[in-house]
Amino acid sequence: MKSSRIAPLLFLGLALLLATGTPTAALAAKPLVLFDEGHAQTAGNADWVIDGGFSDFADVFKAQGCEVRAVKKLAWEDLQSAQVLVLPEPNSLYTAEEEAAIVRFVENGGGLYAIADHNNSDRNGDGVDSVAVLNRFLPKLGLQIDLRYFSEAPTAGKINQTSFTKGVKAVGTWGGSTVKCLSSQGVAHITVSAKNGGGAFIASTEVGAKGGRVVAMGDSSPYDDGTGDPHDKLHDGFNNPGYSHATLAANSVRWLLEPRATAPARHLDRLLADVSAGSRTYAGAPDPSLLLHLETCERAVGQLLNEHPDLRPQARARVMGDAGLADLRRSLDAQTTFDLLYSR
Please tell me the total number of residues recorded for the chain in this structure.
344
Secondary structure (DSSP) of 73-141: S--HHHHTT-SEEEEE---SPPPHHHHHHHHHHHHTT-EEEEE---TT--SSSSS--HHHHHTTTGGGG
Q: What is the mean pLDDT of the segment spanning 302-315?
A: 93
Give residue 28's pLDDT.
54
The whole-number average pLDDT for the span 12-37 is 59
CA distance 99 to 76: 10
Evaluate if residue 12 carries a pLDDT over 60. no
- What's the mean pLDDT when you consider all of the chain? 88
Confidence of residue 48 (pLDDT cuts 50, 70, 90): confident
Q: Tell me what pLDDT residue 340 has.
A: 43
Q: What is the pTM of this model?
A: 0.88
Per-residue pLDDT, 121: 79
Residue-level pLDDT at 119: 87
Average pLDDT over residues 55-68: 97
Closest Cα partner for 214 from 158, 161, 252?
A: 252
Q: How far apart are CA 51 and CA 37, in angstroms?
A: 11
Q: How far apart are CA 104 and CA 238, in angstroms?
A: 31
Residues 327-338: tens digit of each pLDDT: 888 877 766 644
Predicted pLDDT at 339: 55
Q: Taking the domains of the chain in order of start, what are their residue ranges?
A: 31-257, 264-342
Using the predicted structure, report yes or no on whether residue 271 has a pLDDT greater than 90. yes
> What is the pLDDT, as a whole number, of residue 344?
45
The fold of the 31-257 domain, in CATH, is Rossmann fold (3.40.50)
